[in-house]
Amino acid sequence: SVNPDLASERQTASFCVEKLTALLDGGAEQTRIRRAVVEAIQSDPVFSRENQYFQTQNERYEAAVMKAVHLQKKMHEMGWTENGPEYKYIYRALSGDVAFLLHRVFMRSISVLGSDKQIAKWIPLATQHQLIGSYAQTELGHGTYLQGLETTAVFDITTQEFILNTPKISAMKWWPGDMGRSATHTVVFAQLYIHGKCYGIHPFIVQIRSLQDHSLCPGITAGDIGPKMNFEHIDNGYLMLKNVRVPRDNMLSKFCEVRPDGTYVRQGSQKINYFTMTTVRISLISDEVLTPLMKACTIAIRYSAVRRQSKLKPGEQEAKILDYQTQQEKLLPQLAAVYAFHFINDYLQELFNRGYREIQRKNFDMLPELHALSSGFKAVITHHCTAAVEICLRACGGHGYSLLSGLPSLYTKILASCIYEGENTILLLQTARFLIKCFMAASTGQPVPPSVTYLAAEKPGKCPAKNKLDFLHPDIYTEAYQHVAVRLISSTATKLQDLIQSGVKKYDAWNQCTVQLVQAAKAHCHYITVKNFAETVETLETKAGIQRIMKHLCDLFALHGIFSNTGAFLHDGYISAAQMDMVTASYLDLLAVIRKDAVPLVDAFDFTDESLNSALGSYDGQVYQRLYEWAQKSPTNKMSPAYERYLKPLLHNTLSKL
């Protein structure tokens, strides 16, 4: 039985939920395939996540290994392949709760960096899981700055081997997933030395555990790095190498080779490799960032339609907390952000597909733009969505703080996305470097990539809005965002030039501008997101209310961004104080409009109760019943030795006194 407070929310939807689901999936056929995968996975008890919140790190790891092994069978049984249409839904259906994810990175690195001979040798073994691979790049003392890695690989011409070493503790490999306990092999990135000369970082396949009994190989010290904020199911590991010898053939040699006589040879273009690293940043957006935020919105909004607190009107029943303006202001902008980033993700995917086709034709012109976009959007979207999940968690009060709500684990997991695959601040500065370069080029009339042509078309002007309804015109707010992006990029470029001209060294000047460069890069991404959302709305079908509700969300996303960052728009008077008051009025009006469709909008994400794994977010809204049922299953409700040991001696003397 569905909680009547939730049921009533569904009766007044202004649009067709099923049509919106299909839009998000990319068509009704995709929805059908996704549901079939979800059904197959969730009906299989091996994949159950029922006790997840009660498990220790060891139990989580063991379950993840079990699931990974079982998944191989399941895929075979279902006829799913890694290239099939079902594949992208499997990970989502499992909520990522599975081991051997780095095994795929191991395979990809061999495919991309290995010679044909190496691919022929290793990929079939890896495909059949006859070894378990990992990817050992990050070190205790070295992350984003790859040139700083300290692990060494010295070529020994007499034995035709590389000798790998961890020269000091900061050079220990640290964090590689699947390496702490599972992996038998890994790709180790190390500084290559031949005849005492350093040739920089290269990848080497290294066996770390015996295939016979899984014991560590000679010279290998490895283990698990211990507890983390999340990812308990993954054995992130450490690795020390002491005179570990691998044959010459184990250096991945598509681009660089060491000949038997010690000659070092570079071959081909590595640019395709940079492109691969760039696409990883885009590929994580959907599974690791948007899906968790969709779940958090579903949980928090359903709960807010069921939870009642205080009286809004005297004499009436306590009000649904979703009816409070402050609660709407917390949750609805996050919902709008989901859609904004969903559409920008589509845009980026398409752009990268186009880039890939160009690169295959040996045209690398798009690379700088793709690199800048992937860096900037990875940072902006992970940051925004992490903050949004936290807002959802806090908006559920005490119950949001219980692991059983599902929100804490969504938060602690999405948080990592701000750090891995490039720390966000560093990524934004890479985007900023591209923007400054393009701005300089544009201002001297040189051609620039499509996404930054707007930098050449700087118009000073003022926002033409005359009343609050004008701020519901996409042209009005999109131009405001564009104006701010241009202003921040150009003013920071000017500051940078002024500093350099005043005699400050180039690198010092750059460092002194970085806080503002980060702001400029964010403004660029924010502008493109708003513009893309508005353009996408134009293309949507007008039937079934889809376009109308998406238009509302687009407006909300844009106005929320202005409302939360008024200074950027007020600074040079592009938006006046009176206009900003109109923005505020339109923004607050929109909250009340979208509130009516809030529950149908999260229903459209189409999560099953199993995949939400939340006592607050279930489709039926039976929150209190579920919290109570789950709590009773907690291991903390088993007998504890604390009573006999500590409490009984304390209380033994009381009976006579009471």
| Distance, CA of 192 to CA of 147 (rounded, Å) | 12
Site for a second copy in 97-116 (CB under 8 A): none
When asked if residue 1 is in the footprint of a second copy (CB under 8 A), the reply is no
When asked if residue 466 is in the footprint of a second copy (CB under 8 A), the reply is no
When asked if residue 287 is in the footprint of a second copy (CB under 8 A), the reply is no
Give min distance, CB of 421 to a second copy, in A: 11
| Distance, CA of 6 to CA of 598 (rounded, Å) | 11
**Ramachandran sector of residue 267 (left: φ over 0; alpha: ψ -120 to 50; beta: rest):** beta
On whether 21 is known to bind a ligand per the annotation, the reply is: no
Give the residue with the Cβ less far from a second copy, 542 or 642.
642
Site for a second copy in 325-384 (CB under 8 A): 325-327, 329-330
Please name which of 233, 49, 55 lies closest in space to residue 634, comparing C-alpha atoms: 55
Give min distance, CB of 259 to a second copy, in A: 25
When asked if residue 502 is in the footprint of a second copy (CB under 8 A), the reply is no
Give the residue with the Cβ less far from a second copy, 82 or 572.
572
Site for a second copy in 45-64 (CB under 8 A): 53-54, 56-58, 61-62
| Distance, CA of 486 to CA of 520 (rounded, Å) | 8
On whether 376 is known to bind a ligand per the annotation, the reply is: no
For residues 522-533, one letter each, b for 16 or more C-beta atoms within 10 angstroms of the residue's C-beta and e for the rest, the string is bbbbbbbbbbbb
Residue choice 40, 132, 372, 496 for contact with a second copy (CB under 8 A): 132
Q: Count CB neighbours of 363 within 10 A.
A: 11
DSSP 360-376: HTT--TTHHHHHHHHHH
Are 301 and 599 within 8 A, CB to CB? yes
* Binding string, residues 150-189; x marks residues near a second copy by CB under 8 A: -------------------xx-x-xx----xxx-x-----
What positions carry a catalytic annotation?
Answer: 421
Residue 223 phi/psi, 5-degree rounding, is -175, -170
The token duo for 394 is: 């806090």
Residue choice 78, 123, 588, 593 for contact with a second copy (CB under 8 A): 588
* Binding string, residues 80-99; x marks residues near a second copy by CB under 8 A: --------------------
When asked if residue 498 is in the footprint of a second copy (CB under 8 A), the reply is no
Give min distance, CB of 41 to a second copy, in A: 18
Give min distance, CB of 195 to a second copy, in A: 24
Give the residue with the Cβ less far from a second copy, 268 or 635.
635
When asked if residue 620 is in the footprint of a second copy (CB under 8 A), the reply is no
| Distance, CA of 423 to CA of 143 (rounded, Å) | 9
- Which stretch of DSSP H or E encloses residue 642? helix 642-642
Give the residue with the Cβ less far from a second copy, 117 or 354.
117
When asked if residue 420 is in the footprint of a second copy (CB under 8 A), the reply is yes
Region near a second copy per CB under 8 A, out of 26-34, 104-112, 228-236, 257-265: 228-236
Region near a second copy per CB under 8 A, out of 7-15, 260-268, 287-295, 632-640: 632-640
Region near a second copy per CB under 8 A, out of 154-162, 248-256, 339-347, 514-522: 514-522
When asked if residue 404 is in the footprint of a second copy (CB under 8 A), the reply is yes
| Distance, CA of 239 to CA of 571 (rounded, Å) | 52
Residue that the structure tokens 């940043």 belong to: 281
Give me the long-range contacts of 61-67 (CB less than 8 A, separation at least 24). 61/99, 61/181, 61/232, 61/233, 61/234, 61/235, 63/97, 63/233, 64/97, 64/98, 64/99, 64/233, 64/234, 65/99, 65/100, 65/182, 67/94, 67/97, 67/98, 67/99
Residue choice 16, 49, 219, 223 for contact with a second copy (CB under 8 A): 223
Are 486 and 520 within 8 A, CB to CB? no
Give the residue with the Cβ less far from a second copy, 132 or 385.
132
The token duo for 621 is: 């809204």
Residue positions forming the annotated binding site for FAD: 138, 177
Residue numbering of the annotated binding site: 138, 177
